[in-house]
A = this chain, B = another copy of it.
Amino acid sequence: MALVVTELTMSLDGYIAYESGHVGPLFDWYGNGDVEVVSGDGKRTFHMSEVSAEHVRRGDKETGAYVIGRKLFDFTQGWGGVSPSGPHVPVFVVTHSQPDGWPRPEANFTIVLDGIESAIAQAREAAGEKVVGVAGPNLVQQCLNLGLLDEVRIDLVPVILGGGIPFFANLKDVPVILDGPTLTEGTGVTHLRYTVDSTRRRSPKRTP
C-alpha cells in the first residue's frame, strides 16, 4: 500500500518560507547547476546539480497522488489544475468548503470535504504502488498528529531565514522521533529522508 510522504525545502532554522509565503533564497538550489529538469507539469524548467536533478526526478516518478490543504490550494490557485508531477497524477484537496469554480472537468482534482483521513485513504487507493505526497505544513502537522505520515523528506538549505512559516509546529505528543536519514548532498542543499518511527504511525510498512 502506498507510503505517505512529505517533502519540503527548509532553512537551518526550520522555516519553509517567509510569512508571506515567498521562499526567498530557499529555492536557490533549483537554479544553481547545469542539469536541466522540467517539472512534471511542464510549466517550469530548472537548472540544478546532477545529484539534485536525480533526486527531483526520482520524487516525481514515484509520486502517485497528492494531498494538499486549502491554504496551499488557494495560494497556488489550485496548481492551475495540474499536479506538479503532471496531469496524470491526481490531487486530493482537503477543505471544509467547496472552492468556487471547482471541481473542474479537465482537472484531475478531487475536493475532499469529509476530512484528512478520508483524503489520505482515497489518495492511497489512487497511488497504488507509488507514494502519496502530502504538501503544505498545516496538513503535514495534522498527518503527523494522526499517525498518517510514513516519511519526512527535508531539502535542507544552508540559510538561516530568521523567521517565517515553520515546517513543524502545533504537534501533539512531542518529541517526534524519526529514523534515518538516508541522504544525498546536492549543491547548496542536502536531501534528507527520515522515516517516522513505527510506533508513531498507523500506516503499513512498505513491503520490500
A contact set with B: CB distance below 8 Å: 11-14, 24-25, 144, 152, 154, 156, 158-163, 166-169, 171, 174-181, 183, 185, 190, 192, 194
Known contacts A159-B177, A160-B168, A162-B174; 11 additional CB pairs below 8 A are A12-B168, A13-B167, A13-B169, A24-B175, A158-B178, A158-B179, A158-B181, A159-B175, A160-B174, A160-B178, A162-B171
Q: How far is the CA of A183 from the CA of B191 in the complex (A)?
A: 12
Query: In the assembly, how many copies of this chain are there?
Result: 2
Q: Which residues of B contact A24 (CB under 8 A)?
A: 175
Among B154, B158, B175, the residue within 8 A (CB) of A25 is B175
- Known A167-B13, A171-B162, A176-B162: A183·B185 in contact at CB below 8 Å: yes
Q: Is the CB of A178 within 8 A of B159?
A: yes
- In the complex, the chain B residue whose C-beta lies closest to that of A197 is B158
